[in-house]
Amino acid sequence: MSLHPLTSPGLYVHVPFCQTKCPYCDFYSVTSTERLAAYLTALDAEARLYREQFPAFDSLFLGGGTPSLLDAVQLSTLLKTLRRYFAFAPDTEFTLEANPDDISADKLHLYRDLGVNRLSLGAQSFDEAELIFLKRRHTARQTRQAIELIRAAGFANLGFDLIYGLPGQRPEAWLRTLETALSFTPEHLSCYQLTLADDTPMGRQAAAGEVQPLGEEAQRNFFLLTDKFLTERGYLHYEVANFARQEEPQAGGRRHYRCRHNLKYWTHVPYLGLGPGAHSFQAGRRWWNHRSLQDYCAALDAGLPPVAGAETLTPAQLRLETLYLGFRTQDGVALATLKDQPGWEAILTELTGAGLVEVRHDRVVATPKGLVVADRLPLWFAA
C-alpha cells in the first residue's frame, strides 16, 4: 500500500476522560471513568461503521481528554479495535497526548510496544505558581522527570503544549518557561493563548471580575515575542500556535517535525474522528459526533451512527474555509484562490503595505503581524 503523507486520511480518537477538570478547559471530558468500558465498546461499533469509507490512514492521533489515563488493558483494547478495522501505513505518525503525572517507565514501554512514535506532553508551564493557578495536577518538577523518562525510553519525537497570557503574567516569566522547554530540545511546541470561554469556571470568574484576563494588546505582544524567540532559535512557526524544530540541512533536505496529522486539518485532507464530539471531513462534507458520552454510547448501542450534525460545504464555503485555514499556516493561500475576488490586487497591495501578508512565489502568506489577526484576513478576500 502506498500512501502519500499529505493526501492519506488521518484518524483522530477522542478519549473523553480526565482525572480532574481544569477550570479553563472547554474540551469535552468527564471525570468519572464509570463508562470507560461502555466507551470502548461504543468505539468498536463506531469504527466498524467506517471501515469501508476510510480503509487506511497514515496518521493516528489519540487526544482528549487524557489518553494517558488509560491503563495497559484499555489502551491495548482500543488499539486492537482500530487495527481490526483499518490499515495503517508502515510510517504512520502515531501521536498520543499525555499528562506529565501519568508518565512512568512502564507506560512508556507500553506506548512503544503499541507503536506510539510521537508524544504530546501537556506541560502547560514550567512555573510552579502558574501550574497552581491553572489547577493542573502536575508540578514542573514532575514534567522534568517525565521528559527524562520519555527520552530514556527512546522517544525521538516529543512535543509540549504550553499556555501563555495568564492574568498578570509578565513576559519574562513566559520567556523563562520557553527557555526551560527548549533546554529539552523538543521537536514540537504548541503555544496557546489562555482563552476563557464563558461556560468554564475560569470564564465565569472573569465575567464576575474575580480574574483579570490580559488585554488584546498584551496578548498580541506575547504572541509576537513567542514568534521571535522561537524562530530565532531555529523553530519553524508553521501555524498560528505551532512550532516545529528543524534539523540542519543534510543531503536529502532539511528535516522538520511538523505534525503530519494536524496539517491535514488545515489543508482539507480527509480525516475521521471517532469518539464523543469528534469531527470528520471527507470530500467537502463535515460531520460531528454527539458531545456527551452518554448520547454517544446510546446511539451506538441502538445501532445508529453517533452523528449529531453534518454539513456539505458549497464551493463558496469551501473557498472561504481554504482562506481561513491557509492564512493560519506558513503555506498561506494560493494566489489563484484570491483572484476570484474582484479588486483582489488592490486588497493585496493594502495588506502587503500594512505588513500583514507577503507574496512568496504563487502564494500569499501571513507575516507574524498578520498571524495575530489571521482570522480576520479572509474577510478581505471573501467574494
Cell numbers 464509570: residue? 34
Of residues 138 and 363, the one with the C-beta less far from ligand SF4: 138
> How many beta carbons lie within 10 A of that of residue 186, not counting itself?
23
Contact 306, 299 (CB under 8 A): yes
- Work out which of 10, 11, 12, 29 binds ligand SF4, going by CB under 6 A: 29
Considering the rule CB under 6 A, would residue 65 count as an interface residue with ligand SF4? yes
Question: 147, 155, 136: which is closest to 180 by C-alpha?
Answer: 147
Residues 158-197 as x/- pattern, contact with ligand SF4 by CB under 6 A: ----------------------------------------
- Region 109-138 residues binding ligand SF4, contact defined as CB under 6 A: 122
Task: Report phi then psi at 307, rounded to 5.
Answer: -85, 125
- Binding segment for ligand SF4 (CB under 6 A), chosen from 14-22, 50-58, 201-209, 337-345, is 14-22
Considering the rule CB under 6 A, would residue 275 count as an interface residue with ligand SF4? no
Cα-based distances in Å from 56 to 4, 53, 89, 95, 317: 11, 9, 7, 16, 28
Question: 82, 93, 14: which is closest to 58 by C-alpha?
Answer: 93
Cα-based distances in Å from 52 to 49, 56, 97: 8, 9, 27
Considering the rule CB under 6 A, would residue 15 count as an interface residue with ligand SF4? no
Contact 97, 122 (CB under 8 A): yes
Rounded CA separation 179/301 (Å): 49
CB of 172: closest distance to ligand SF4 in angstroms? 25
Considering the rule CB under 6 A, would residue 74 count as an interface residue with ligand SF4? no
Of residues 22 and 351, the one with the C-beta less far from ligand SF4: 22
CB of 147: closest distance to ligand SF4 in angstroms? 18
Of residues 206 and 325, the one with the C-beta less far from ligand SF4: 206
Task: Report phi then psi at 18, rounded to 5.
Answer: -135, 150
> How many beta carbons lie within 10 A of that of residue 67, not counting itself?
25
Considering the rule CB under 6 A, would residue 21 count as an interface residue with ligand SF4? yes
- Binding segment for ligand SF4 (CB under 6 A), chosen from 61-69, 175-183, 243-251, 294-302, is 61-69
CB of 148: closest distance to ligand SF4 in angstroms? 21
- Work out which of 11, 13, 15, 22 binds ligand SF4, going by CB under 6 A: 22
- Work out which of 8, 66, 157, 262 binds ligand SF4, going by CB under 6 A: 66
* Alpha carbon 12 to its chain's center: 11
**Footprint of ligand SF4 (CB under 6 A):** 18, 21-22, 25, 27, 29, 64-66, 99, 122
